Amino acid sequence: MGIEILPQHWSAILAISLMIGALVVGVIRKLYMTYVLIVSNIVIFILTYIYYDQIVFGAENGFIAYAGLGFRAIYLTPEYFPQIYTLFTSMFIHGGFAHIFGNMIIFFFIGLPFEQRVGWKKFLIIYLLTGICGSLTHSILNLGSATPLIGASGAIFGIMGAFAFSYPQDKIIMPIGFGIMFLTRIKVIYAVIFFAAVETFIVWFDVPFDTTAHFAHLGGLLSGFIIAFFIIKRKTVGDSAKFTTYYDSYNPLKPTKLNYKNLRQLADTYDLKEMLSKIENETVQQVRDVWLEHFFEKAICPKCKNPINHFDGKIWCENCGFRSSY
């Protein structure tokens, strides 16, 4: 049995060029990879919509003539192993509007805040590796299958898993719901538990008429936890032993100045004043940031006494519109 190297349709070659080109431009221009991936997925979806059979199935005039960009479990065999690169290309291919819309809307809300915390390098590594792990999980359970596996879901679930491992108590805006999605502010760990529970339920009870590769989702989620454990630097510091900070070791945090005058307006209890004192006197950047996060967990809006939000030097209250900076 010889080794088969299957050709690709010109539209598939163009799609591959767009995938690689988008990532290269994103790296050179130092763009958010979340935005790069979303835009490239949408552009490739438009191309796929026009040449669906050639790009997804490798079919032309009713016959299989090309490899296609979807990953098939059969590509794990020695005969078809040269097509293993479709583990990468399949993450950029979607089967319909609902497929790409659902994936990209969740990816936007989970991907951007995670990338802002760990940096684009580790974000991209986790995205690509967990996407591959998700596809392999599904394929190992379906060895010999020639059905194409497409979509970014495995990678998106991988980002969820890594986020849950790294910042389980962080609150983010997420679309949650059955059938109809609604936006809610929720802790990362709860969002991941929700999606994991849904996937586990579907797999466990073998829901009929469902063609989604749910094992790819679970494989991506689990690999996200594992990969984040190894590549996201974890540091426990000072008196805050119960608090853990995570940061991108490729890009160490630079010392920043804080507006303590505005922070003092929020320190209206003894505990908050004590924490603010520790923040002001702390000389280690990571330790100070841990205390700052804890400070904002306890602080409330000076106007309406509701919880406040903070990010990138800005403070705001979603209830009354209070705004400040630090």
Residue 210 has pLDDT above 70, yes or no: no
- pLDDT exceeding 90 applies to what percent of the chain? 40
Region for residue 294 given its phi and psi (left: phi exceeds 0; alpha: psi -120 to 50; beta: otherwise)? alpha
Listed by start position, the domains of the chain span 10-231, 244-325
pLDDT at 206: 52
Q: For residue 107, what pLDDT is reported?
A: 93
Band (pLDDT 50/70/90 cuts) for residue 298 is: confident
Q: Please name the fold of domain 10-231.
A: Rhomboid-like fold (1.20.1540)
Q: How far apart are the first and last CA of the chain?
A: 67
Structure tokens at 183: 């936006």
User: What pLDDT score does 251 carry?
Assistant: 43
Q: What are the backbone dihedrals phi and psi of residue 222, each rounded to the nearest 5 degrees, phi first?
A: -65, -40
pLDDT digit string, tens, across residues 123-176:
999 999 999 999 999 899 888 888 899 999 999 999 999 999 998 888 888 877
- The pLDDT assigned to 161 comes to 94
Task: Output 297 or 69, whichever has higher pLDDT.
Answer: 69
What is the pLDDT at residue 218? 87
91-120 average pLDDT score: 90
pLDDT of residue 316: 87
If you average pLDDT over residues 235-257, what whole number do you get? 44
Q: What is the DSSP string of 74-138?
A: GGGSTTTGGGGGHHHHGGG--SSHHHHHHHHHHHHHHHHHHHHHH-HHHHHHHHHHHHHHHHHHH
Segment 209-217 mean pLDDT: 68
Least confident of 45-59, 111-125, 134-148, 273-287: 273-287
DSSP category for residue 73: G
- Dist. CA 16–CA 172, nearest whole Å: 33
Whether the predicted pLDDT of 17 surpasses 60: yes
